[in-house]
Chain A
Amino acid sequence: MSVWIEFVRSQAPLLAIGAPLLGAALLMLVPGARLAWSAASAAAIITAVIAVDMALRGAAGAPLPDQSPSIRVDGVGVWAVAVVSSIAAFVIVGSGAMLREFHRRAAPFVFTLVLVMVAALNGAALCRTFVGFAASIETMWLAAVGVAALHGDRDRGALTGSLRMLAAGGAAGALLLVGVALVVRGSGADLSTLTDQQLRSPQSAGLGLGMILAALALNAGVAPLQAWTGPAFGRVGGLGALALGAIASVGALFALVRISAYAMAAPAVAVGVSNVLLALGLVSVLAPSLQAVGAVNVRRLAAYAAAAQAGCVLVSVALGSPAGFAAALVQITALGAAAVALLGGAANLGQAHGLDALDGLARRAPLSALAITASALSIMGAPLTLGFLGRWRLIEAGVGGGWWWAAGAVIVLSLAAVLYAGRLIERVYFKRAAGVAVERNLLKVALAPALIAAVAVICVGLEPSWLLRAADAAAAAATGPSP
């Protein structure tokens, strides 16, 4: 048995990509929604166990699996794989309550595409070359469009949302391709840490990196490139929203952090990259916060809230310091956990996804209400939540780097979040339902992932030392030793 465990550990990076792909291939042979859900859950849990084990061993100082010609294991990559795989396992297991959202014959294809998304994001986190990175991101995006489109059987609005995703993602893919070509020409095809000596053409590399970051920002739903998020999130159903918000957006943000860590090592391009990230980050803190305040649909509100939080992630990365990257990793983790808790809890609302469906939810569905409340507190950045932790680390990193105004961005984000996330709590606990029905959740165990995410948001906020140490170690490995 230990021989097999050692073998799996030695091939963990390859298995983190291969296990969900194998699961996706086998799902094409599985008939029926329930069987497909069970098989997909098994594949997702196996992937998550492998990824989390690799991350824990890395955090404990054990040597990571040997590098190979096509795979490179670094701090950000290991963290990203663990978080994305874990979130995907939560999403897929929790989707047992959402099987009625799509046609019974479409269910295996939906789960197939979600597993392909996971495999592609893990590939983007672990690949060695820019070409592999581009292929992974594009595969992830096309799979995400497919997941959204397959909800079109029940709600035709999902089709227009997916068309907007295809248009935006297609333009982003074109930008990504040209950006990768420019970077390869300017500095080489390897995604190892960049140095000034490796730069053959700083202008070409700098322009290429800017295009890659813009493309990834669009994929992550960062403002002002987030026009696709409202229509897509609003009509794609619970599993679609979770796949887009908790998997695709989180994975795209991790990819953005990875590319930024690569770029920040070379001073010749670091300043330009930092300015681009800062501009995008500040716009993304402001504009989606205003959109979220005016949202009347739970899923759209979640999309805008995620975009606003992503803005703070970009500001953290723009700092370029190990502390900034550590703050970004914590914030992305908080964003993912909050998305799972909010969208997983809201999935119990069934077809009713307006904010009014939350009225009196605490009496009708107390567990869903608990998940939504924990998520709202984290989004607000309430103390002793994971969301607060990420923002506090940003303030520390900003003040340490001389960017005292970064605290201002956090304050703006948090104040706006109090308005829109506070509305969720008000509706759940202090308003009476106006005849809106909540679908009976026959598979209550499927609520468990949302509840676990909600508990994690609070518990990790209470005892964050292990998470902070792991984030510091991952950021240091990605950027070099801390000063």
Chain B
Amino acid sequence: MTLEALGLRAEIALCIAMLMLGAVMAMSSANAVKRVGGVVIAQIAALLAAGVLVGGDIVLVGAAMLAGTLTIGCALIVRLQERYGGVDMGELDAADTESEPREPGAT
């Protein structure tokens, strides 16, 4: 395998590792801001990988996807802060569980 091919594989592996790290952060962080940050990291990694692999139109699509995700993510964080008074996922889930309608006994 040539050095160039090895270098390409190393770049792709690094991007995929960064993508997985971002995905884990997005799914499991205890803070809404960190979740959005995780998504952004994953998408930046994907953008870099796509640029290295093929480039062209797909990078534009990825950039648009990143911009859209970031915009909606920021809007959600602001709304969560307004409605819940915080962005900690534990507190948000507790508040949601409390407001979920409980089932009365069967008649």
Which residues of A have CB within 8 Å of B58?
131, 134, 177, 180-181, 184
Q: Is A93 an interface residue (CB 8 A)?
A: no
Interface size on A, residues (CB 8 A): 45
Number of A-B contacts (CB under 8 A): 142
Contact call B35/A297, Cβ cutoff below 8 A:
no
Main SS at interface, chain B: helix
B2 vs chain A, min Cβ distance (A): 15
Contact call A171/B107, Cβ cutoff below 8 A:
no
Surface stretch bound by B, among A21-29, A158-166, A316-324, A339-347: A158-166
Interface string of A355-391 (1 = CB under 8 A from B): 1100100000000000000000000000000000000
Q: Chain B: interface residue count, which band?
A: 35 or more
In the bound assembly, the distance between CA atoms of A178 and B47 in angstroms comes to 8
Interface string of B66-107 (1 = CB under 8 A from A): 001100110110011001100001001101100111111111
Contact call A178/B39, Cβ cutoff below 8 A:
no
A135 vs chain B, min Cβ distance (A): 5
Q: Is A100 an interface residue (CB 8 A)?
A: no
Contact call A170/B54, Cβ cutoff below 8 A:
no
In the bound assembly, the distance between CA atoms of A182 and B54 in angstroms comes to 8
In the bound assembly, the distance between CA atoms of A181 and B19 in angstroms comes to 14
Contact call A170/B42, Cβ cutoff below 8 A:
yes
Q: Is A449 an interface residue (CB 8 A)?
A: no
Interface string of B2-16 (1 = CB under 8 A from A): 000000000000011
Q: Is A432 an interface residue (CB 8 A)?
A: yes
Which residues of B have CB within 8 Å of A160?
80, 89, 92-93, 96
Q: A177-B47, A178-B16, A234-B100 are in contact. Are A185 and B42 (CB under 8 A)?
A: no
Contact call B61/A135, Cβ cutoff below 8 A:
yes
Contact call A157/B96, Cβ cutoff below 8 A:
yes
Having A142-B72, A168-B26, one finds 16 other A-B pairs with CB under 8 Å, namely A131-B61, A138-B68, A149-B75, A149-B76, A159-B76, A170-B40, A171-B22, A171-B42, A173-B69, A174-B43, A175-B46, A177-B47, A178-B16, A181-B58, A231-B96, A354-B102
Which residue numbers of A lie inside 8 Å of B, CB to CB? 131, 134-135, 138, 142, 145-146, 149, 152, 156-157, 159-160, 162-163, 166-168, 170-171, 173-175, 177-178, 180-182, 184-185, 227, 231, 234-235, 296-297, 352-356, 359, 431-432, 434
The 6 closest A-B pairs by CB, nearest first: A170-B39, A174-B46, A171-B23, A181-B53, A181-B50, A174-B42
Which residue numbers of B lie inside 8 Å of A, CB to CB? 15-16, 19, 22-23, 26-27, 32, 35-36, 38-40, 42-43, 45-47, 49-50, 53-54, 57-58, 61-62, 64-65, 68-69, 72-73, 75-76, 79-80, 83-84, 89, 92-93, 95-96, 99-107
**What are 25 A-B pairs at a CB distance below 8 A?**
A131-B58, A145-B72, A149-B72, A156-B95, A159-B76, A159-B80, A160-B93, A163-B80, A167-B26, A170-B26, A170-B69, A171-B38, A173-B65, A174-B43, A177-B43, A177-B62, A178-B15, A181-B50, A184-B53, A184-B54, A353-B101, A355-B103, A356-B101, A356-B104, A434-B107
